[in-house]
Structure 1
């Protein structure tokens, strides 16, 4: 098997990066893989605390040879996550034609690389398959309904892989993406049957409130009628939902926490290359339940605040 290069993007979280690298280094196939680490640089007028974190992160990634080959690409100036990822992915896809992508807060199971590489090989010439994901949110209620990998147009960027043939179709113009979805009355389907509000992420990019890449990749896959392959149980854990990341919030609890990661996954030859309705219902159920829990926590917080004011 020809192993895909791995791109890891880091910035100023040395502890997260270390856990990510330690997990990656014990993956099956890590010793046969080439790892590219893209280390973003400091922002203008950076304070001494953040500068120290950036240096600590760089010291961490230099500690050992995490994979068969390791190349570190340093940026002198801060690019931001969106630009770092799009430029890094472009660079490696132009050279290799396929890629596995991790950010500094994605801890993988030992079978993650095997699943990524096997899937990249298996679906290399299937134009409809545009993305391989390693993360599946936990849903105890419907966990038993998934027994094999499945396809969905919905994209998860927490540990993923793709090919140049697919990435070439990405549109980074948020205005054009939003306009297409609006003109084709696609917002409801695009938002997972109204479960989520992805269109607001596009609108926030348009207004300049945020600058993100993943929503544009998902939008491009959706518009191209592409599919993303999911494992039937998560092979990655996101450890960044603690407020430490530029684009991550602080959660009272982590609804994405996976107690035990999947160590291996097999793609059955009978798997149809079409959206799984069972998979769609699984994802909708998780995010609907998440919304209900978020609303309950908001109401409890508001009630407690009122009680405090009345004392």
Structure 2
């Protein structure tokens, strides 16, 4: 099978885009798709920054097999990324997907290539992840395990899996008050976390998190899908950069990227590693600061927007306490 095409998602950060190109320079003989979101109407500096990214891209891809998609105005993360994936999937049956702030180690692309081929027809595998949130803890004697949580900081998927994507999250309202989430996460706080995020994504309001990945997670869970996850981290993420086109629920610490050995050692069975997922919830998804995890543990009956405001205020107070406090 030929190498999988790359989809690069860029925006307004020339230095990060240049770093991403440096990281993939040994893999540019394969087809490459590049999608650039447009400048935000309320951020005048985006005009020059976005143009800087596009100029860099045009210089980098001269003479190569590349398809470009430059948006004239800003679509936002929740619209731009799924739209770009669907655009590239019109021409391909699988993709390796990298945002500008997701820098792969040399082993990630060969890892994704091999496993895209190995699991291309598997009925329970929808994604190959590059990120690992285990802080150096090995979860398997093999090169990878299977997670129920699809990490999207450097990942790959197939057209047959992407067909499951539906931003409207059909079925969530019917599932919300059932034991469904509790059957996936035995810790009530973990189930509460995802219930809060799914409510926010399915019924967005002012201040909602602009996310395509939350619906993607829901879509995979309702179809009983798993994500291949490397036993060591293969992606360096710089998502806290000021130019980001997104906003998260928390500050998250990324495990150091350490690489992977070849030949890969494959598991004999495909089954979810619940211990690894529970650890990832505590070490990554609930936030890197104890106060974030504390507020999630309270399981407050709040929408995500006010909860995010509380978390921001708490972090600010703890990081920069007021005089006399």
TM-score, reference length from structure 2: 0.81
Residue 213 of structure 1: aligned partner: 212
Q: In the alignment, is residue 301 of structure 1 matched against residue 300 of structure 2?
A: no
Query: Residue 120 of structure 1 is aligned with which of 111, 116, 122?
Result: 116
In 2, the alpha carbon distance for the partners of 1:203 and 1:273 equals 30
What is the alpha-carbon distance in structure 2 between the residues aligned to residue 22 and residue 66 of structure 1?
Answer: 15
Asked if 1:75 is matched to 2:75, the reply is no
CA distance in 2 between counterparts of 1:5 and 1:155 reads: 20
Distance 1:88 1:198 in 2: 26
1:171 to 166, 170, 174: 166
Single out whichever of 91-100 and 295-304 deviates more from structure 2: 295-304
- The answer to whether structure 1 residue 181 and structure 2 residue 181 are counterparts is no
Q: Deviations over 1:56-85 (max 9, x none)?
A: 111222222399622222111221222222
For residues 216-271 of structure 1, what are the alpha-carbon distances to aligned partners after superposition, in whole Å with 9 as ceiling and x for unaligned? Answer: 1111111111111000001111112234312146988x61151x431445543443
Report the Cα distance in structure 2 between the residues aligned to 1:165 and 1:55, rounded to whole angstroms: 34
Counterpart-to-counterpart distance in 2, 1:66 and 1:231: 33
CA contact (8 A) 1:102 1:159 kept: yes
Counterpart contact for 1:135–1:230, Cα < 8 Å: yes
Q: Does residue 283 of structure 1 match 2:299?
A: no
Q: Superposition pairs for residues 105-254 of structure 1, below 5 Å?
A: 105-140=101-136, 143-148=137-142, 149-174=144-169, 176-190=170-184, 193-196=187-190, 197-205=193-201, 206-208=203-205, 209-248=208-247
Relative to structure 1, the CA distance from residue 181 to residue 69 in structure 2 (aligned partners, 3 Å threshold; closer, same or farther) is: same
Moved more, 66-75 or 54-63: 66-75
Change (3 A) 1:17 1:192: farther
Instruction: Tell me the SS of whatever aligns to 1:305.
Output: coil
2:145–2:267 CA contact under 8 A, matched in 1: no
2:87 to 83, 91, 108: 91
Deviates more, 1:275-284 or 1:105-114: 275-284
Residue-pair matches, total: 300
Aligned-pair CA distance for 1:177: 4.5
In structure 2, the residue corresponding to 1:172 is in which secondary structure? Answer: coil
- Residue 221 of structure 1 aligns to a residue whose secondary structure is helix
Deviation at 1:116, TM superposition (A): 0.8
Relative to structure 1, is the Cα distance of residues 172 and 305 closer, same or farther in structure 2, using a 3 angstrom cutoff? same
Structure 1 residue 293, shift from structure 2 partner: 6.5
SS in structure 1 at match of 2:95: strand
Segments of 5+ residues of structure 1 without an aligned counterpart are none
User: Partner residue of 2:22?
Assistant: 22
* Distance apart, 1:16 and its partner CA: 1.5
Deviation (angstroms), 1:286: 2.3
Q: Determine the C-alpha separation between the residues in 2 that align with 1:6 and 1:132.
A: 13
Which blocks of at least 5 consecutive residues in structure 2 are unaligned?
295-310
In structure 1, how many angstroms separate the alpha carbons of the residues matched to 2:145 and 2:106? 20
Equivalent position SS for 2:90: helix
**Aligned match of 1:262:** 259
Equivalent-residue separation in structure 2 for 1:81 and 1:289 (angstroms): 21
TM-score, L = length of structure 1: 0.84
Q: Which string of whole-angstrom CA distances, capped at 9 and with x for unpartnered residues, describes residues 260-311 of structure 1?
A: 43144554344311112343344245246835364699489349635x156x
**C-alpha deviation, 1:113, in angstroms:** 0.9
Distance 1:116 1:147 in 2: 19
